[in-house]
Structure 1
Amino acid sequence: MKMNSVCVVISVIFFFVAFFNISPAKAEKGSDYREGSTPEEVLLQEKGGVLLPRGVLVVEPGFQYSHTSRARIAISGFTILEAIAIGQITTEVTKKDVFTTFLNLRYGLAHGWQVDCKIPYLYRHDRYSWQEDSATREKTVTDEDIGDISFGISYQFLYEKGSWPDAVLNLRVKTHTGKDPYHIDTDDRGRPEELPTGNGHWGISGGITLVKRSDPAVLFGSLTYFYNITILKEQLEIMERFVLEPVWISV
């Protein structure tokens, strides 16, 4: 499985480079352009507010970490006057750590277009502890694999002038290259023996990003609509999510 993930990453990068005819000279040109940009321009490019010029390639490695903890109490019995519980009380604590490294590839096309690709790789460490027969039991599960690769295309149809901001339309497609949560092995109590690295759905999102410079700060926000498409029991189900992300950043 790990070898397949490496092959997928290499194939995506090779396709990205070959399809857009990217050469080392163009990549170097992108580096020079970045060095010649102001901090404000670099910040906006990273947030998707303004797009890269034609022929400029930007490769951005990144890292994310998240930790979640959850405690659950289950009572098998009955209560008296909502204050006295008679029966078996079971407690379970779950702690999850997710380490994500990713590679962003962005390439500027002509006439205000830009394409990008995000390749994540996840390492997960989950810990379970529960009470059983007056003793504390523990279980640790670790797993790693490629996540859900996504591709995007952006178009800047409005450029800042006077009171008008920069405006960029975004369209993204998320694959399900990661290990989905629907086909993982579990023990007899339903606890996983392996961990998912993707959500198991194809996803499509579209949105708009607005950017307005106001020295010494930049105001930008995004309006995005998500469609997560999953096929279960030969039926097509669509899960929708609407996200509004205004952000104020001082530079």
Structure 2
Amino acid sequence: MMKNRVFVYWLSVVFIACMFFAAVPIQAQEPFRGTQLALRGLNADDEETAADDATPQSPQTKAIETKKNNLPQNPRPEANEPKKDSAPQSLEQEVKELKEEVQRIRSENEARKRLEVPEEEKSKSVEDILSAVGNQYTLLKKGTIGLQYGFNYSYYSGDVINEATRVERRSNHNLTNIITGQYALLNNLTMSASVPFAYKYNLVGTSSSQESTDLGDISLGLTMQPLKSGASLPPIIFSLGVSLPTGTSPYSVNPLHSLASGSGLYTFSGGLSVSKVIDPLVAFGNLTYNYSLPASGLSQRWGTSDTLTKVEPGNSIGMALGFGYALSYQASLNLSAQLSYSFNSRYTLNETSSYESGSSLASTFNVGTGWRITPTRSIYVSLGIGLTINDPDLSLSFTVPFEF
């Protein structure tokens, strides 16, 4: 009985061992099958690498490879030395170039600042350009007293027919000294007064001449800027003036023996002046209108039997356009053209008959310069060239302004 139990026991052990060894190969083959499927998607190089990795290595091979990996690698000195030096040299070169660039930018900024004109200097330059053109484009600051001395020379020439058979050359020279005073009631309101002293010399041919030295017509003026100028609105200055007949009237002298120094009329004028900075130029222009009162009670002899008793002068309108340019901080140049149209005038003779003169057109081209001789003192020079027979052949003027 005991032998049967031992036999059954060992038979069970053998059966279990057989089952165990039969199951182990089946479980061991499953990972290899998955590995083979995965290796099918690899290329030939990857398959060789995977095969090498999967191949078991002997302990001796592993030891040899470990020794090879642990051996110190000594690269060639000539290959590494440039790499060690290139990085510091490149960084040092970049820092040097950066310093040079910063220094260059600083130098350019300093040069630009030296060349840049301050706003105050720009405003003064524009004021000098417009002042060289005329007082109608500028205003004084409140409480400022201005004084100007001006000298003007003009020359007329033409042909005169005498005794119906002889043609003689006529030359007329006019020299005028003008003193102008200004006072600024407000920053945008300035009043002025001008007093001229005239010398005239007229030569006809070589035998007949006349000359005269006398006070001219005193004029009073008012200039104002009602609207403040801005970026979109240029300076607009209105002017009003009146000319008084303080000089010798041309209707009260004998033209064969003496010359007149004034117009003999009360004349009222109004004007509008505009200027605009168009860098680097300063453009300017104006419109004027003159109205003269009639002169009556005259008794000037005309010919042998007629007497001039009344004059009704025609009104006139005028315009001017031009531009100025600052040549430097001390010099400026301006060019302009003036055009004036006078309507018909009526003359009454012997208080019974009258006739009208035709209208006339006058035009002048002007070239002017301004010179700043000191930081607070300037001188203006202008040359005018007549374009019609009613204008002087040429005129030359000098103006020196003072402010107190």
Q: TM over 0.5: same fold?
A: yes
Pick the aligned partner of 2:126 from 28, 37, 40. Answer: 40
Q: Work out whether 1:174 is the aligned partner of 2:233.
A: no
Sequence identity (%):
27
User: What is the aligned partner in structure 2 of residue 112 from structure 1?
Assistant: 188
Question: Is residue 241–residue 268 contact of structure 2 (8 Å, CA) maintained in 1?
Answer: yes
What CA distance in whole angstroms lies between the structure 2 residues aligned with 1:162 and 1:94? 52
Compute the displacement of 1:74 (Å).
6.2
Mapping of residues 34-73 of structure 1, within 5 Å? 38-45=124-131, 47=134, 48-73=136-161
Distance 2:161 2:199 in 1: 28
Please report how far the alpha carbon of residue 75 of structure 1 lies from its aligned counterpart in structure 2 after TM superposition. 7.8
Distance 1:142 1:75, change over 3 A: closer
1:39-72 deviations in whole A, cap 9, x for unaligned? 3223334522231111001101011101111113
Aligned residues: 193
| Corresponding residue number in structure 1 for 2:202 | 126
**Unmatched segments (≥5 aa) in structure 1:** 1-34, 77-88, 130-136
In structure 1, what is the equivalent of residue 259 of structure 2? 195
Q: Is the 8 A contact 1:45 1:52 kept in 2?
A: no
Structure-2 separation of matches of 1:125 and 1:240: 28
SS in structure 1 at match of 2:293: strand
Instruction: Give the conservation status (yes or no) of the 8 Å contact 1:58–1:106.
Output: yes
Runs of 4+ in 1 over 6 A off after TM superposition: none
2:289 pairs with one of 196, 200, 225:
225
Give the number of the structure whose alpha-carbon radius of gyration is greater: 2
> In 2, distance between residues paired with 1:123 and 1:170?
28
Alignment partner for residue 231 of structure 2, among 159, 162, 184? 162
| 8 Å contact kept, 1:50–1:166 | no
TM-score under structure 1 length normalisation: 0.70
Change (3 A) 1:141 1:236: closer
1:213 is aligned to 277
Unaligned runs of 5+ in 2: 1-120, 298-308, 327-404
* CA contact 1:229–1:239 (8 Å) conserved in 2: no
Q: Distance in 1 between matches of 2:250 and 2:139?
A: 35
Q: Distance in 1 between matches of 2:162 and 2:254?
A: 24
Which of the residues 278, 303, 320 maps onto 1:245?
A: 320
**TM-fit CA distance, 1:214:** 1.9
What is the RMSD computed on CA atoms of the aligned residues? 2.3
Larger strand fraction of residues:
1
Q: Between Structure 1 and Structure 2, which shows a larger proportion of helix residues?
A: 2
